[in-house]
Amino acid sequence: MIKQTYLDDQPAFIASGPTNIDGQETRMLTLIFRTPPCAYNQCTMCGFDNNASGKIKDQNIANQYKTGISTANLTGVRKLDLPTAGSFYNDDEMSPASRKYLFREASMLPEVEHVMVETRVDYLTIEKVLESQEQLREDQEFELAIGLESANDQIRNQVLRKGLSRRGFEHFADICQETNSRLRAYVLIGAPTLTKEQVIADAVETARYIYEVATARGIDTFVAFKPMFVPKGTELEIQFNEGEYELPTLWDVVEVIKRTTELKCFQPNSIWVGMYDENLSNDRVTQNCGECDTEVSKAIIKFNGTQDLSELEKLTCECKGS
């Protein structure tokens, strides 16, 4: 009982790393909140349930925020990312009072210029976004994130069971446009059933779709690639353990980045690659031969800040292939 109370006052995960804001290298702090489980809870690769707790009250959210902010290094952090175990705008997962509290707190961080939250489109309304923005300072930009994963309907809704239509995604983008928010879309690298070449093509094609949707609405976007990892207790874990699923390599990730920057509709300084597994995977992550993993991972993380492709192009190893 004591342990449970203690955990409910701790963020599920804290990470800090490079990102780029409008051409400038900076840092993003991610505080993942322990919240009630995702009400949808059907995606085949999702391990966020491991971060959830059914007993969370407003006071726990406040305590998690205070713990996270006091333990994190805020030096140079201009972007604050506040993910949950599900949807930020589902009132049953994050109450309106807690949302208000978090934005008010964020408005008091003088160096933070961007604030980001993630939600399924089902819970997103213009009113909720405006309420959130009201709490922020005028110079703080708001970013709304959604897990699109793949622009391919079959991959997104049959293989990954996202339950998200293209229309739903475009409605999300409409709300970003109407509320002057930046759109961030997560793109999976490594959906099951795809060959290596298809994995790369699917991620690049998804990026293309996101840029086109954003540009058509005159909004800025971030394409946030998530190289797959295998979280505990998921359908993906079963497939992985039975030898039916193989993770992509870090070289595949580098190739996806390279091809994305070559897209005609590419928006400069708009790529981010999620290189942490939130302690959910038992090290079953996208990786290379073992010899070059540290170097290539570090280079990708650095790229998040610099957006300089030439650093990635210099990388080499016997395992890279031609």
| Interaction site with ligand SF4 (CB under 6 A) | 38, 40-43, 46, 48, 86, 120, 147
Closer CB to Zn ion, residue 214 or residue 285?
285
**Residue 112's binding partner, choosing from ligand SF4, Zn ion, none, with beta-carbon cut-off 5 to 8 A by kind?**
none
Closer CB to Zn ion, residue 136 or residue 319?
319
- The CB-of-44 to ligand SF4 minimum distance in angstroms stands at 9
Closer CB to ligand SF4, residue 21 or residue 223?
223
**Footprint of Zn ion on residues 290-319 (CB under 5 A)?**
291-292, 317, 319
Among 132, 179, 181, 288, binds Zn ion (CB under 5 A): 288
Closer CB to ligand SF4, residue 120 or residue 182?
120
Tokens of 37: 């489980």
**Residue 288's binding partner, choosing from ligand SF4, Zn ion, none, with beta-carbon cut-off 5 to 8 A by kind?**
Zn ion
- The CB-of-121 to ligand SF4 minimum distance in angstroms stands at 10
| Residue pair 127/134 in contact by the 8 Å Cβ criterion | no
| Residue pair 25/144 in contact by the 8 Å Cβ criterion | no
- Dihedral angle of Cα 273, 103, 146, 84, to the nearest 10 degrees: 80
**Region from 75-83, 244-252, 264-272, 280-288 binding Zn ion, contact rule CB under 5 A:** 280-288
**Residue 22's binding partner, choosing from Zn ion, ligand SF4, none, with beta-carbon cut-off 5 to 8 A by kind?**
none
Tokens of 220: 């800025």
23 Cα distance to chain centroid:
20
- The CB-of-317 to Zn ion minimum distance in angstroms stands at 3
**Residue 289's binding partner, choosing from ligand SF4, Zn ion, none, with beta-carbon cut-off 5 to 8 A by kind?**
Zn ion
Closer CB to ligand SF4, residue 149 or residue 255?
149
Closer CB to ligand SF4, residue 42 or residue 165?
42
Stretch 86-105: interaction string toward Zn ion, x if CB under 5 A: --------------------
Which sign, positive or negative, has the C-alpha torsion 56, 281, 120, 305? positive
| Contact residues: Zn ion, CB under 5 A | 288-289, 291-292, 317, 319
